[in-house]
Chains A and B, each alone.
Chain A
Amino acid sequence: MKVLVAVKRVIDYNIKVRVKSDQSGVDLTNVKMAMNPFCEIAVEEAVRLKEKGVADEVIVVSIGPKVAQEQIRTAMALGADRGILVETDEPLESLAIAKLLAKVVEVEQPDLVILGKQSIDADNNQTGQMLGTLAGMSQGTFASEINVGENCVEVTREIDGGLQTLSLNLPAIITTDLRLNEPRYASLPNIMKAKRKPLDVKTPADFGVNVISGLKTLLVESPQERSAGVLVGSVGELVEKLKNEAKVI
């Protein structure tokens, strides 16, 4: 089967973001960028399916600026076979991304599409589900276990209060949660090999997709900071303060 994985270039998860002084957004100049952590898990799962003989081709797609080729190369170093970049310098909303991915799905006809459940920049948690609808596919979001069967895939999902297992008709969309797997690191020989793997570059115009969004960001501000309180000397003092000062117990 053919597996398509979508990845996003985002700010490195270790970096604390700063809001621009004009409140127009977050300052990303000279900030380390990386593959979104949930997307790494998606790549890893696809590669494992290939290693198990379930998948015979893993294609990785990203939508973003030219430098997003770095993240596609990383995915290929981890084991993806080829890459597609839909190049755009515009920051796109989830709906536009899902429309572009739906076009890629139309061309590639994958049996399974694996995406991260959310990107750690916009924290939207939308793209996989939107793609599911646009491509007419079933969906298993927040996956912690995947078992591919005949014409179907069983997905165990992380839901509030526990786990839910669904059976999805193929083709299907899966979005990854943290416990699905632990992504590997790319080895140096594989990083070198990835440089020679094919990478197609397209534009939104090639797919005839209108990427205009109905949303406008008016303002981005820093959240209210909490200030440090007091250190207490003993459990007794803590209980006394919670009872009489904070009145929460």
Chain B
Amino acid sequence: MSILVIAEHDNGSLKDETLNTVTAAVQIGGNVDLLLAGENCNAVAEQAAKISGVNRVLVADHSVYAHQLAENISLLVTELAADYSHVLAPATTNGKNFMPRVAATLDVSQISEITAVVSVDTFKRPIYAGNAIATVQSMDKVKVITVRATGFDAAACDGSATIESLDKVTDAGLSSFVKEELAQSDRPGLTSAKVIISGGRGMGNSSNFNLLEQVADKLGAAVGASRAAVDAGYAPNDMQVGQTGKIVAPDLYIAVGISGAIQHLAGMKDSKVIVAINKDEEAPIFQVADFGLVDDLFDAVPELAHSL
């Protein structure tokens, strides 16, 4: 058995989700290679070579891969897939974008967002917003899988894989990059943060999210939002935690002014410790919280920031 894992990165550094995906690959068993497709990504290759459990890092360094265009990346992965029994990518917006193209070209089904490996061909994945867990078996010749990072621990980084460069250039010529607007933040990303503090509709407006940032600064936390807060325009969509946003499972999740809709719980209920701060003691969020505080968030959050 041989497994190809596709690395998630921004040409400058490796994204943490790659480490969780390698762990899933190691659990399946067999030889694990990592594909790094990008442009001027040497520094990332050095980082990737240190991931424990990885045998070879295959580097495709070319401008056609600079922006991870799905049409180009999927062609490259499809060409390589012939040598592997499994192809795994993190279930990031990037992995979700190109992996189904790989599966369709190989004429196999894709198994999306696995959270556990049962055996070499059987996996668990959440359906219906995490309200049911399906165990699925794949009879396909190549298993094309995306991995939900929160289901697996991060692989250690004390390995020494060999780095090999590929000279394959696959350009579908169907799409081109125009621009990117990425949020500039010194805070950790939502999917890799150990602590997350999220605000809901109870925040009242976007400037009140500053209150959460003060706590986040003290705890080195990421700041998230519920869909209600995003829909109300209090926070940008990339901060959304939930079925339709990001799925997170930090050590500590602090839900502030969030009622706890099913769709939000789907995105955070696997967190280790959940704290809810809400003035409505009937809010469903309290049914999943380890520690609940019934209080006005505008009193409690500043006090929390102060006492940390």
Contacts and interface: CB of A to CB of B under 8 A. Distances in A.
Contacts of B304: 235, 238-239
Contacts of B176: 166-167
A122 B133 CA distance: 10
A49 interface: no
Contacts of B122: 218
A144 B104 contact: no
B262 interface: yes
Contacts of A222: 131-133
B289 A215 contact: no
B62 to A, nearest CB: 18
A11 B262 CA distance: 14
A236 B107 CA distance: 58
A130 B101 contact: yes
A17 B131 contact: yes
Given A161-B189, A230-B292, A218 B135 contact: yes
A53 interface: no
B101 A123 contact: no
A132 B236 CA distance: 28
Contact of B237 (A144, A229, A248): A144
Contact of B307 (A17, A121, A235): A235
A124 B174 CA distance: 24
Contacts of B307: 235-236, 239
B177 A166 contact: yes
A129 B290 contact: no
Interface stretch (A71-79, A104-112, A152-160, A188-196): A152-160
Contacts of B238: 158-163
A133 B183 contact: no
Interface in A203-249: 213-223, 226, 228-232, 234-236, 238-239, 241-242, 246, 248-249
Nearest to A228: B287
Contacts of A201: none
Nearest to B182: A162
Interface residues on A, range: 35 or more
Contacts of B100: 94, 125-130, 133
Contacts of A98: 104
Nearest to B288: A226
Contact of A248 (B130, B140, B251): B251
A122 B303 CA distance: 42
A214 B252 contact: no
A19 B128 CA distance: 10
Nearest to B180: A164
B173 to A, nearest CB: 8
A202 interface: no
B308 A239 contact: yes
B100, B137, B138 pick with most chain A CB within 10 angstroms: B100
Contact of A235 (B93, B231, B243, B293): B293
13 contacts: A17-B128, A123-B243, A139-B101, A141-B93, A158-B237, A159-B93, A178-B231, A215-B137, A222-B132, A223-B130, A228-B288, A228-B292, A248-B251
Leading 6 A-B pairs by shortest Cβ distance:
A138-B174, A129-B100, A229-B290, A214-B140, A130-B104, A162-B182
